[in-house]
Amino acid sequence: MTDTSAEIRSKQLGIFLAKTEAERFRIGDELNDFGRKVIESLIRQEQPGICDADLKINVFKRCYSTLFPPDELKKIIHSMRVYLAYNNVQ
């Protein structure tokens, strides 16, 4: 669904493409950071008191669970838990 006309979308794209690669990268990075913060906020609302390690794992699952087969996802999450425990993220 979009409420933006094709003409305006074309102008927006032109403005974006006129930016340098570094500017476009920074915009993408900021959008990614914003999206992660929104997901973290939703998880914290659903699970008040969640520890940082579980929050990171839940963010990962929300973002990437459809990209990996279940067995691979379990391995990745296990590795994340080991890494976070080793680095004392609670």
In a domain, 1, yes or no: no
In a domain, 25, yes or no: yes
Q: Please give the residue range of the domain that contains residue 59.
A: 6-86
Name the band, by pLDDT with cuts 50, 70 and 90, for residue 1: low
Name the residue with tokens 């669904």.
1
In a domain, 20, yes or no: yes
In a domain, 29, yes or no: yes
Which residues lie closer than 8 Å to 51 by C-beta, 6 or more apart? 90
* pLDDT tens digits along 8-67: 999 999 999 999 999 999 999 999 999 999 999 999 999 999 999 999 999 999 999 999
In a domain, 70, yes or no: yes
Whole-number Å distance between alpha carbons of 48 and 62: 17
User: How many domains does one find in the chain?
Assistant: 1
> Is the Cβ–Cβ distance between 17 and 50 less than 8 Å?
no
Whole-number Å distance between alpha carbons of 67 and 60: 11
In a domain, 19, yes or no: yes
